[in-house]
Amino acid sequence: MQATPMFIFYVTDPAASARFYADVLGAPVLYEAADFAMLPLGQGARLGLWRTEDVQPRAGFAPGGAELDVALADTEALAAAEDRLAAQGVTILQPLTTLGFGQAVTVVDPDGHRLRLYVPATP
């Protein structure tokens, strides 16, 4: 089994989604074509952004509906990310909130997928 996972989000515009995730995650776009883009997530994992109408075999899923969670170093980084995203006009679904697993901010990408930035609670 290959040890490098890739998560695929179905999107309407891979280039726009790649710009969004490159900016939010501070990650380079590794590959970009009209129908697909890919970014690194760390530790070998990757995020694929596949234009819904080009998925083969055809998928019955519309864009949106998935969630990607990304851990940040500390609460200051989390608050700074929230401020930066809000200033860019990104929709904030949940402002900085303390949850059972830590502190989190949840935003929406251009296709309605959720991106949850969080700082894990310390035991």
Residue 70 covered by a domain: yes
- Count of the separate structural domains present in the chain: 1
What domain range includes position 11? 6-120
Give the C-alpha distances (Å, rounded to integers) separating 4 from 31, 43, 60, 66, 106.
16, 8, 26, 20, 26
- pLDDT value of residue 2: 57
Residue 88 lies in a domain: yes
For the stretch 28-63, pLDDT in tens is: 999 999 999 999 998 889 999 999 889 888 877 777
97: CATH: 3.10.180.10
pLDDT band at 68 (very low <50, low <70, confident <90, very high): very high
Q: Is the pLDDT of residue 1 over 70?
A: no
In a domain, 1, yes or no: no
pLDDT in the model for residue 113: 93
Give a yes or no: residue 64 inside a domain.
yes
SS3 sequence, 6-55? EEEEEECCHHHHHHHHHHHHCCCCCEECCCEEEEEEECCEEEEEEEHHHC
Is the confidence at residue 122, as pLDDT, over 90? no
Residue 109 has pLDDT above 80, yes or no: yes
